[in-house]
């Protein structure tokens, strides 16, 4: 783990952003009809992975999202823009562990400041070599994002030109919008992903991606409150039919290290909204004063 930590510091030095409204998290999904900013970021990241080599999608992680949301809040409220918390000295891998993301094998972080929408910040990250590398890395299997808007942000944001967790400039900003994106992979966790983590679908038939290649020999699935289907040989990509009726759907999976479920079992699940008669929409924030904000990348 220490080897990975030193590698990530060298390879993944990244960014920061700010918000006034804190949208609900992925873990707090309601039938609002629209994805949150965090959910939209997840969709956009997986779109970029698909467009750049049809890479496996990332699974949304509640603990990584909690770590990312907390860091965006701290950057906004404590007036700094960095991967390290200048006030506590906490690194990003320490923050994700504190948020409950234990047993990770590799982790990384993107931060940014000034972008108003998920589309803007993802476009900015994809134009930066280091941030793009994180988004497209096959080392990562999970991701969580956090966005905060601070209406009264000032010109007192602390920043550092060196990766030493010490501010060397104090009169930056205002940025208003703060973004954090944490990536990770846990060797004992093998996620299932429905429709590349889309927020919703209009069809009962969905595409599944299963992590576990090289370990799992067999797989079986079920819907919420349904019966398990028969064990079948493991494959990373499957089609599946959701249960009847609109609403939040859950697909459960069990992976076995032996044929026909005879080996070690690992479980996972994923959710998606089924809205057969509705079209998904994206959240778009509007602001009364449109002022150019600089974009910060390191």
- Mean pLDDT in order along the chain per 10 residues (298 residues): 32 31 35 79 97 98 97 96 95 95 96 97 97 98 97 96 93 96 95 96 97 97 96 98 96 97 96 76 40 36
Three-class secondary structure of residue 195 per DSSP: helix
- Nearest by Cα to 151 from 184, 120, 178: 178
Q: Is the dihedral of CA 140, 177, 85, 24 positive or negative?
A: negative
* Helix 37-51 × helix 62-78 angle, to 10°: 120
pLDDT of residue 172: 96
Confidence (pLDDT) at 33: 65
What pLDDT, on a 0 to 100 scale, did the predictor assign at position 113? 97
Helical segments of the chain, H only? 2-11, 37-51, 62-78, 92-98, 118-126, 129-136
248 contact partners, CB below 8 Å, separation of at least 6: 29, 31, 271, 272, 273, 274
Task: Provide the pLDDT for residue 34.
Answer: 80
At 9 the pLDDT is 29
Q: Check: CB of residue 109 under 8 Å from CB of residue 92.
A: yes
């Amino acid at each position: 783990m220490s080897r990975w930590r030193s590698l990530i510091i060298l390879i993944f030095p990244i960014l920061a952003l700010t918000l006034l409204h804190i949208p609900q998290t992925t873990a707090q999904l309601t039938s609002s009809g629209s994805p949150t900013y965090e959910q939209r970021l997840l969709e956009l990241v997986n779109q970029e992975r698909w467009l750049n080599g049809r890479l496996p999608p990332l699974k949304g992680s509640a603990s990584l999202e909690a770590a990312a949301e907390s860091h965006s809040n701290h950057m906004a409220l404590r007036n700094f823009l960095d991967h390290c918390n200048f006030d506590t000295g906490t690194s990003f891998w320490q923050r994700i562990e504190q948020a409950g993301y234990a047993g990770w094998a590799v982790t990384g972080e993107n931060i940014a400041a000034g972008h108003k929408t998920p589309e803007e910040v993802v476009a900015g990250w994809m134009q930066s070599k280091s941030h793009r590398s994180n988004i497209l890395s096959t080392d990562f299997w999970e991701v969580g994002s956090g966005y905060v808007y601070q209406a009264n942000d000032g010109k007192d944001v602390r920043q550092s030109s060196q990766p030493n967790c010490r501010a060397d400039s104090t009169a930056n900003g205002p940025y208003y919008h703060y973004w954090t994106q944490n990536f990770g992979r846990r060797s004992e966790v093998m996620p299932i992903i429905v429709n590349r983590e889309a927020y919703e679908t209009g069809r009962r038939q969905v595409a599944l991606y299963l992590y576990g290649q090289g370990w799992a020999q067999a797989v079986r699935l079920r819907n919420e409150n349904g019966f398990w289907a028969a064990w079948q040989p493991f494959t990373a990509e499957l089609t599946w039919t959701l249960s009847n009726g609109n609403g939040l759907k859950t697909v459960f999976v069990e992976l076995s290290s032996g044929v026909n479920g005879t080996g070690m079992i690992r479980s996972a699940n994923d959710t998606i909204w089924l809205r057969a008669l509705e079209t998904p929409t994206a959240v778009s924030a509007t602001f009364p004063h449109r002022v150019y904000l600089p974009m910060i990348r390191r």
